[in-house]
Structure 1
Amino acid sequence: MFERARWSRRVGVVAVAAALLAVASCASAPAAPPNPIAVEQVPDYYPADYQQIIEGSKAEGGELVINSGTAKENWAPIFRDFQKKYPWVESILAKESGAEGYQQLLNEIATDSVQTDLMVVSSTQGWNEFAAHEGALAEYRSPEADHLPEFAELLPNVYAMSLDPMGMVYNTALISSDLTSLADLADYAAAHPGELDGKVTVREGSTPFGFTVAYAWTEWNPKNPDAKATFEKLLPLSRAETSSGIQIEKVLSGEYAAGFLISSALGYEQEERSGGLVKFVLPKDGTLLLGRGAGIIGKAPHPNTARLFLDFLLSEEGQRAVAEGGLTAYRDGIEGTQGLRTYQDLVKEVGDDSIVVVPFDMVPQAEVEQYIARFAELLPG
C-alpha cells in the first residue's frame, strides 16, 4: 500500500501568472491579532502532576523532531507560539514524511533507534496500518481530550491537529465559467469536448493520502449518490501528481486547467497570491474534511516535550496558532477571528449537506488494491 505508483489553451498564461504573483507578493493578507500565550502555565483542568511532564521536558535537551507532510508556512505560527510557551525548546525539526515514512519509523522502533517524537499526517489508511503495529504509538490521553469535539480523537492515541477541507482549483484564464462542484467541472468538460483532456490533475491514488481522499469522496460521501459517477468522468481527463503543491503550481502555470481533492492548506494561500488567476472552491457536492492526525511515536527520544506539543496543538492557544498557519482549527472559541479559518465558519459557508468528515476507518487490503487498480485503469495511458 505504501509503494509509490507511478499546455494550454491560451498563450502567455505563464507570463500572466508570474506577473500576478509578483504584484500579489507585495501585498499581505490581513494579520491575525496576537495570540496571548500563558508562559509555562496550563489550564486548571490539567492533572495536578502535569508539572512533572513540564520538568521532564526541561531535561530533554530542548529538542523536538516531527515527521510530517505539513508545510513550513503552516507550522511557523505553531512553532513560534509553542516555543514562546515553553522557551527551553529551542530546536524543532519537522522532517518531510512521504509514503515511506511509516516503514522507516517502524524499523527505528524495532531496532531501538527512534529519532522521531511525533508523526503528523493526513492518511486514514496509513495511520491505521501504522497504529496496528505493537509499540508504534505511545499511549497517551491528552488532558484536552474532554474539551474537544468527539471527532478530535481519530484513533486511540491519535488526535486531529486540524480538520482541513479538500477542494478544487481552476485557472480562470482557461476556464471562464464559475465552478462550484466537481460535477460542474465534469459538465464543463462534456460541453467543451477535448478541451480538458489531460488538463486536469488528481492526487496519485496509490499513495496513502491520494487513496484516502479519493476513496472518501466516492465511498463516504453519503449525501451525493452521484459521487462515484462524477469521479469516473473526471479521471479519464486527469493526470496524477504526488502533492498538492505540484498540482497548484501546474494549474497556476497553465499546464493544467483544474485540479480536485487539493488541500486547503495550500489552496487558500495560492488563491490569495495569484491575484484571481487561481480559484479555490469548496465543492458543493462534497467537501471532505480530513483530520491531520498527530500521535507520539513509541520510544520517542523526547517523550515529555512531545506530550507538551501534542497538548498545545489541541489547546485554545494551539488551535489559534493552527488557524493562523492557514489550517482549519475545529475547537470552539476562536471562530469569527479575523484572518483565521475554523470548522465552525466552514460549516456556515458551505452548509452541513456539503460537509463530509472523513472517518478514520480501516479499508480491507483487497478492497484497497481493487480501488487503486480501478483508479489507474481510468487514468489516460
Structure 2
Amino acid sequence: MMAGWRMLLPLISCLAAPALAQPVPEATQDYGRSDAPFAILVRSTTDIALFGPVLDGFVAANPDIRVDYEQWGSNDLYAVSLAECRSGAETADLLISSAVDHQVKLVNDGCARSHSSPLTEALPAEANWRDELFGITQEPAVMVYNSDLVPAQEAPRTRFDLIDLLRPEGSRYEGKVATYDIEESGLGYLFAFVDAQQATTFGSLIEAFARSRAVSTCCSAEIIDGVASGQYVLAYNVLGSYALDRAEQADNLVVVAPQDYTLVLSRGAMIPRNAPNPVSAGLLLDFLVSDQGRRAMAAEHLYGDATAVAPDSLGQNEAVLRPIPLSPVLLVGLDRQKRAHFLALWRDTFARPQRGATTPSE
C-alpha cells in the first residue's frame, strides 16, 4: 500500500502544480563566421527580416565577431531580462526593444552597464540616458489603409478624421479597423498609453473604436498584412518601419503619418549588467549609432526623417512630431494600478480575434 502511494505522489504533485512554460525566443539567426574568436548574444524585438541586413553590415566590418541573434516578443524579453538581472544570472550581451518603457525600467532597476564612446557622447540628450540606454532608431507610429477599399476622399489624415469615419451607426468600416492588442504587445501598450497622455482626442477615439467594433490584435506585421489582404481596411498606430517595408510589395497600402501629431519611437539598446561580452557588445552599439549603421538601418526603414514618411501628410512640419523620451517619465505607465485600469479600459473597448499560439514580436 505504501509503495502504491509513493508511485502516486509524483503524479499528484504534477497535477497540483503544473510547470509554467518558460519564455523562449520566437526565432534565431547567426551572423558572421562560425569560427569567429568572439561571439555576442543579441536579444531584440526587431524582426529578423528587418534587422538581419544591419547585422550583416556589422559582421562584415568586424569579421572577428559573430552575432547570435534572438527575436523575442517584447513582454517575454522584459520578463526574462528582469529575472536574469535579479538573480545575477549571465544574460545577453545586448538588449534592443521597441518597448522602451521596459528598457527604462531595467535601467532604473540597476540592470544596465554603462557604455561611453565618442559616438555615444555625440548623441543628442534624448537618445542617451545615463550612458546606459541609447536610442538607435527613428520610427513613426502611423496609420495604414487599403486604397482599394478606402476612397481617397475618406482616407483619414488626422485622428479627428478617423473618429469621424467611425462615428456613424452602421459604418461600413465596422469591424474592419485594427490596432495593437496592448496585452500581447509591449510596444502597443506604450503607444496607447502615450496617446492617452498626449491627445485630447483619446476619449473620443476609444469611444469610436468601441462603437465600430474595432479589433485589437498582435502585432505590426500581422495587422499590416491584414490591411493588405482586405481582412481590415485600416490600421491605427502601427510602426512605420514595418508599414513602409510592406508597402514596397503591396501597391494598395498607403502609409499616413497623422497630421495632428505623430509619435516617433527610438528603440532602446542597453548592455545588461551581467553581459559576458560587454566590449564586443559596445562595438555593435557604436556601429548602430554610427553613420554606417544608420545608413544600414535607413535602408530597412528603421532610421529616417519622420517628416518624409508620407510627404503629403507631414511635409516638413516637424512641429507635429512627438518623440517618445528615454526617461523615467515612461515609468508612469508601468505603475501596477494604472496599468490594470488601462488594460481594463482596453478590454471593454475592443474585440479580440482568435489567434494561434505564436505571433510576430511587435
Answer whether TM exceeds 0.5 for this pair: yes
Higher-RCO chain (CA-CA 8 Å, sequence separation at least 6)? 1
Q: 2:104 aligns with which of 121, 125, 128?
A: 128
Matched, 1:183 2:149: no
Matched, 1:369 2:340: yes
- In structure 2, the partner of 1:342 is 305
Aligned residue type for 1:230: L
- In structure 1, the partner of 2:3 is none
Secondary structure of the equivalent of 1:100?
A: helix
- In structure 1, the partner of 2:72 is 96
How big is the alpha-carbon RMSD for the aligned residues of Structure 1 and Structure 2? Answer: 2.4
Aligned residue type for 2:348: E
Shift of 1:310: 0.7
Matched, 1:217 2:192: no
Shift of 1:111: 4.3
**Contact 2:48–2:71 under 8 Å retained in 1:** no
Structure 1 residues 190 and 220: CA distance shift in structure 2, 3 A: closer
Gaps of 5+ in 1: 1-58, 329-340
* 2-structure distance, mates of 1:156, 1:146: 8
Matched, 1:306 2:277: no
* 2-structure distance, mates of 1:344, 1:144: 25
Structure 1 residues 342 and 76: CA distance shift in structure 2, 3 A: farther
Gaps of 5+ in 2: 1-34, 353-362
Aligned residue type for 1:239: V
Matches for 1:207-286 after TM superposition, within 5 Å: 207-221=185-199, 225-236=200-211, 237-275=213-251, 277-286=252-261
Structure 1 consecutive aligned stretches of length 4 or more whose deviation exceeds 4 Å: 343-348
- In structure 2, the partner of 1:199 is 176
Shift of 1:149: 2.0
Q: 2:118 aligns with which of 128, 143, 146?
A: 143
Secondary structure of the equivalent of 1:90?
A: strand
**Contact 2:245–2:300 under 8 Å retained in 1:** no
Shift of 1:345: 4.6
**Contact 2:91–2:276 under 8 Å retained in 1:** yes
* 1-structure distance, mates of 2:133, 2:306: 19
Aligned residue type for 2:186: P
Provide Cα deviations, 1:321-380, integer angstroms capped at 9, x if missing partner: 12122212xxxxxxxxxxxx3357569735123211112321133222222221222224
Q: With the length of structure 2 as denominator, give the TM-score of the two structures.
A: 0.77
- In structure 2, the partner of 1:167 is 142
Aligned residue type for 1:205: I
Q: With the length of structure 1 as denominator, give the TM-score of the two structures.
A: 0.74
Q: 2:319 aligns with which of 353, 365, 372?
A: 353
Give aligned-pair identity as a percent.
22
* 1-structure distance, mates of 2:68, 2:315: 35
Structure 1 residues 231 and 155: CA distance shift in structure 2, 3 A: farther
**Contact 2:307–2:318 under 8 Å retained in 1:** no
